[in-house]
Amino acid sequence: MALSDPISRFIIKVGIAYGSDVELAEKLLLKILDENPLVLKDPKHTAYFLGFGDNSLNFELRIFIANIDHWMPTRHQLHKAIDREFRKAGIVIAFPQRDIHFDSDGPLKVQVMPDGTDTSSDQSKGE
């Protein structure tokens, strides 16, 4: 591709939850790219499983489009298709997760309360 070439490449990153089927995810991502009319067949698009992130199994899609004007509509269509197909297949798109550690000199009281429980009275009693 030269500067005068209207073909553009862009990247979409997709992270799926640990425990997801990476083979199925790759298959679905390639199917989605194959079926989108704005994604060029040549040069060929790709879907790579890049590795193990802090919160997700990371994929990268490399997509070619005929014109930069197709960038936003293509991105929009692909994001919707990925969400739809992953939901149908039970693949969860990952989100950041954090572990919280409390430093305490003594025991820490932890209480699980049902929804709608008013805890304001417990706090006023010093509990």
Residue 98 lies in a domain: no
On the question of pLDDT at 103 being above 80, the answer is no
Residue 118 lies in a domain: no
Range of the domain at 80: 8-89
Residue 19 lies in a domain: yes
- The mean per-residue pLDDT over the stretch 40-69 comes to 96
Q: Is 13 exposed, middle or buried (0-12, 13-18, 19+ CB in 10 A)?
A: exposed
Count up the domains in the chain and report the number.
Answer: 1
Residue 24 lies in a domain: yes
What pLDDT is attached to residue 6? 87
Residue 108 lies in a domain: no
Residue 109 lies in a domain: no
| pTM score above 0.85 | no
Residue 20 lies in a domain: yes
pLDDT, tens digit, 9 for 90 and up, residues 7-37: 999 999 999 999 999 999 999 999 999 999 9
CA distances, 2 to each of 5, 7, 20, 37 (Å) = 5, 9, 39, 23
Residue 119 lies in a domain: no
Per DSSP, which regions of 1-127 are E strands?
8-16, 46-52, 57-65
Say which CATH number the domain at 50 has. Answer: 3.30.70.100
What pLDDT is attached to residue 122? 53
> Across the beta sheet with 57-65, what order do the strands follow?
8-16, 57-65, 46-52
What letter does residue 42 receive in the DSSP assignment?
S
Distance CA 32, CA 88 (A): 13
